[in-house]
Amino acid sequence: MQLQRLLSFTRKAVDEYNMIQSGDHIAVGISGGKDSLTLLYALHGLKRFYPQKFELSAVTVDLGFPDFDLSPVKELCQELQIPYEIVPSEIYEILFHIRKERNPCSLCAKMRKGALNEVVKKMGCNKVAYAHHKDDIIETMLLSLIFEGRFHSFSPKTYLDRMDLTVIRPLMFVNEMDVIGFKNRYDLPVVKSPCPVDGYTKRQYAKELLRQINQEHPGAKERMFHAILEGNISGWPERCIHKRGKDSEKAL
């Protein structure tokens, strides 16, 4: 995927869900993986021409894994002239050595988001951007159906009243395969996750299930995504497709 196509999908999400307003200071949550680095490129590119002017920063919560080298991400942020903060934490120590969690993902996400939100507020940001793409949204819906018995998924935009922060997901129209293509085309400096449960989670199960369903029933993934967009999910903002009209629909 070329940068121009990535920017088209990103602007579609930003416009249709009114994600960015003039004067926003947006923090991009950087894990070091392909998704968050793609999001960083997307918002950096959008910033150059988007009519609503905004500031951009990048933040990584360092979970405390040994030998987790973020220097390639630092170099990228310097190249893009984006301020970058690394937040040290003891999340790894707490989860794997003190609590010895067998299923640490949920608690890890909660602790990581808490640490991220705290530093984002100190930096003066009013919004934080997460790198969830289209596949993430569909996989979350499957997990919700299977394990919670409800039709639900990530919202494109969520206001956290307790923190006075707004979470946005500008990659929501981007397929994971396109993210992989973008990473390869632009040689993104991905830092591999050292987490010992990476690839052995319920989310990995949902990813493989979605792949199987779409192989057996071509087009099923897009139909699921359409169902989510039109599903009137509680907490989802109204979709303003009139802003871009037919050009927005072409980007799909």
pLDDT tens figures, 14-35? 999 999 999 999 999 999 999 9
- In degrees rounded to 5, what are phi and psi of residue 233? -70, 135
Q: In this predicted structure, which of 58-62, 65-69, 73-77 has the lowest mean pLDDT?
A: 65-69
pLDDT tens figures, 95-112? 888 888 878 888 888 898
| Model confidence at 125: pLDDT above 50 | yes
Which is nearest to 40 in space by CA: 7, 86, 1, 2?
7
Structure token digits, residue 113? 């988001």
Average pLDDT rounded to a whole number, residues 162-182? 96
**Residue 127: band (very low, low, confident or very high) from pLDDT cuts 50, 70, 90:** very high
Alpha carbon distances (Å) from 29 to 43, 86, 196, 200: 12, 10, 21, 23
Q: Residue 173 has what pLDDT?
A: 98
Sign of CA dihedral 123, 128, 132, 134: negative
Compute the mean pLDDT over every residue in the chain, rounded to the nearest whole number.
Answer: 91
Q: For residue 119, what is the enclosing H or E element?
A: helix 105-122
- In degrees rounded to 5, what are phi and psi of residue 171? -95, 15
Average pLDDT rounded to a whole number, residues 85-97? 89
pLDDT tens figures, 238-251? 998 754 544 444 44
SS3 194: coil
Average pLDDT rounded to a whole number, residues 152-178? 96
| Model confidence at 92: pLDDT above 50 | yes
The residue type found at 79 is E
| Model confidence at 8: pLDDT above 60 | yes
DSSP 97: I
Classify residue 82 as left (phi > 0), alpha (psi -120 to 50) or beta.
beta
Record the pTM.
Answer: 0.91
Q: What's the order of all strands across the beta sheet hosting 157-160?
A: 84-88, 54-62, 24-29, 127-129, 165-168, 157-160
Q: Residue 249 has what pLDDT?
A: 42
Q: Can you tell me the distance from the alpha carbon of 67 to that of 54, in angstroms, rounded to the nearest whole number?
A: 34
Residue 173 near residue 252, CB atoms below 8 Å: yes
Residue for token digits 């493989």? 208
Domains of the chain: 3-246 (3.40.50.620)
Q: What percent of the chain has pLDDT over 70?
A: 95
**Residue 199: band (very low, low, confident or very high) from pLDDT cuts 50, 70, 90:** low
SS3 226: helix
Residue 203, number of CB atoms within 10 A of its CB = 15
Structure token digits, residue 192? 């591999």
Torsion angle of the four alpha carbons 202, 158, 1, 227, in this order, in degrees rounded to the nearest 10? 70
SS3 191: coil
**Residue 169: band (very low, low, confident or very high) from pLDDT cuts 50, 70, 90:** very high
| Model confidence at 66: pLDDT above 50 | yes
Q: Residue 192 has what pLDDT?
A: 85
- Give the distance from CA 48 to its chain's centroid: 21
Which residues are within 8 A (CB) of 110 and not within 5 positions of it... i.e. 6 or more apart? none
